[in-house]
Amino acid sequence: MAEPKSELAVAKGSRRLADAVRAAKIAAAHRSDIVVDIREAERARLSALADEMTEVAQAVPVADDLFDFTLSEGPQPRYWVDGTAHISMARDRVTYRLMRETRLGRVTLAESTDSQRIVDAVTEYVAERIVERDRAMALSDRVATRGEGAQLFIAGPESAGEQAGAQGGWLAALWLVIGVLLGVGALLAFSVWRGLPLI
pLDDT at 147: 46
* DSSP-derived secondary structure for 96-155: EEEEEEETTEEEEEEEES-HHHHHHHHHHHHHHHHHHHHHHHHHHTTEEEETTTTEEEE-
For the chain, what is the mean pLDDT? 78
Three-state DSSP class for residue 88: strand
Three-state DSSP class for residue 94: coil
pLDDT at 146: 47
pLDDT at 109: 93
Q: What residues does 97 pair with on adjacent strands?
A: 88, 111
**Which ranges of the chain have pLDDT less than 70?**
1-15, 29-37, 141-166, 198-199
* CB hemisphere CA count around 195 (13 angstroms): 0
Query: Are the C-beta atoms of 95 and 108 separated by less than 8 Å?
Result: no
Question: With a threshold of 0.85, does the pTM exceed it?
Answer: no
Three-state DSSP class for residue 71: strand
pLDDT at 43: 85
Q: Could you read off the pLDDT of 80-99 as tens digits, one per residue?
A: 999 899 999 888 888 999 99
For the chain, how big is the Rg over CA atoms in Å?
A: 37
pLDDT at 80: 92
pLDDT at 1: 47
- Cβ contacts of 186 within 8 Å, gap of 6 or more: none
Three-state DSSP class for residue 31: helix
Question: In whole angstroms, what is the distance from residue 113 CA to residue 123 CA?
Answer: 17
* Contacts by 73-79, CB closer than 8 A, 24 or more apart: 73/43, 75/39, 76/39, 76/42, 77/39, 77/42, 77/43, 77/46, 78/46, 79/46, 79/49, 79/50, 79/53
pLDDT at 163: 61
pLDDT at 13: 53
138: how many CB neighbours lie within 10 A of its CB? 13
pLDDT at 82: 92
